[in-house]
Amino acid sequence: MQENRLFEALLDVIPFAAYAVDIETFEVVYANKMMTENMYAPREEFCWKKVAGQDEMCSWCTVSELKQRSRKFKNEKTISSYFDEVTDTWFQAFDELVSWPDGRTVKYTILIDITEQKEIQASMIKTHTKLAIQSKKLKEANEKLQFLSKKDYLTGIDNRRNYFTKALKIFETPLDDGFHMYVGMLDIDKFKDLNDTYGHAIGDEALKIFTKEVENHLDECDVFGRLGGEEFAVITVYNNETEVLEKFDNIKEGISQLVINKGDNPISFTVSIGIDKKETTDETIDEIHERADKKLYEAKNSGRNRIKFRI
């Protein structure tokens, strides 16, 4: 028919592959020049063999969807993308139900090669993913550095610097009547002998379990830090000295019951504690720590595994 030839001639000038398929028989009723040049099986009739080189209906076929959309929404168009594994090519398909000049309803499809676009998108995604991973690693590294700047690397509690930063805040904060700031200095007894006898691995283990045991007896607002080696400090605020002594006595007793198993030779250790408190506004944070430290050495010199408290 002359009408058909004119219609098809118009479609031939489209700069993309285009074809039409009978939606009932799946026969290819038309393919423009660009499509014809790229057909897999020109002599076949069924679209999945002729156009796509498939042995059965294509998984991306939109005929059923187009029929449904036509019935429910009066919308007979779809846009989809699929990958042609044979040619390693990405296509974007613009599908539409149209009435062909001979009266049949066909799925008219225009195929646009979007492989380059997909590759650009994939490259961008890859770049963004790489940047996201690098950003996450950088964030984790910064968080680790921030943690290490404030925490003791072995025990995870406040290091000397962060301990005194927190201590100074408490020291400078006005307390309610009757409440005092108490400083406890703690030192593991004969820690050097423990290291020399059993090695640094056991010494490190002793520091870790010591720290956990002390933390078990602390309140949320207490400050606990490692000042260096086997020396630690605790700051607590109370209005009752008896409760302060009970807290540190519980720490001392808990430490004495800790055991490190090394074969058939269980290892235990003790702690000595010196305590002092802030009493006047003209004293410094260092002076309180110095007094508590002197009490610590009194505890050491009087037999260890003891608490000395200036009342």
Residue 2: per-residue pLDDT: 47
194 plus 264 within the same structural domain: yes
Residue 5: per-residue pLDDT: 61
Domain edge (last residue) among 113, 142, 171: 113
- Whole-angstrom distance, CA of residue 263 vs CA of residue 293: 36
36, part of any domain: yes
Mean pLDDT confidence for 274-278: 95
Q: Which of 272, 273, 270 is nearest to 257 (CA)?
A: 270
108 plus 124 within the same structural domain: no
> 187 pLDDT exceeds 80?
yes
Range of 131's domain? 120-150
Beta-carbon contacts of residue 204 (< 8 Å; ≥ 6 apart): 154
74 plus 128 within the same structural domain: no
Helical H segments across the chain, by residue range: 2-12, 33-36, 47-50, 63-72, 115-150, 160-172, 191-198, 200-215, 241-256, 285-301
252 plus 128 within the same structural domain: no
Mean pLDDT confidence for 170-179: 88
The two tokens of residue 114 are 């979007």
155, part of any domain: no
89 plus 166 within the same structural domain: no
Place 222 in a pLDDT band, splitting at 50, 70 and 90. Answer: very high
Question: What three-state secondary structure class fits 243?
Answer: helix
112 compared with 236, residue with greater pLDDT: 236
Q: What is the pTM of this model?
A: 0.57
132 plus 204 within the same structural domain: no
Domain edge (last residue) among 101, 132, 150: 150
Mean pLDDT confidence for 262-290: 91
59 plus 183 within the same structural domain: no
Domain edge (last residue) among 58, 89, 113: 113
289 plus 184 within the same structural domain: yes
The two tokens of residue 275 are 């305590």
Q: Could you tell me the CATH number of the domain that includes residue 165?
A: 3.30.70.270
Q: With both helix axes pointing from N to C terminus, report the angle between 160-172 and 285-301 in degrees, rounded to the nearest 10.
A: 120
Residue 285: per-residue pLDDT: 93
Mean pLDDT confidence for 217-231: 94
Number of domains in the chain: 3
178, part of any domain: yes
192 plus 277 within the same structural domain: yes
65 plus 136 within the same structural domain: no
44-91 pLDDT, tens per residue?
A: 889 989 888 888 888 888 898 888 888 877 777 888 888 887 778 888
Answer for the pair 181, 285: CB distance below 8 angstroms, yes or no: no
100 plus 220 within the same structural domain: no
> 311 pLDDT exceeds 70?
no
34 plus 65 within the same structural domain: yes
304 compared with 5, residue with greater pLDDT: 304
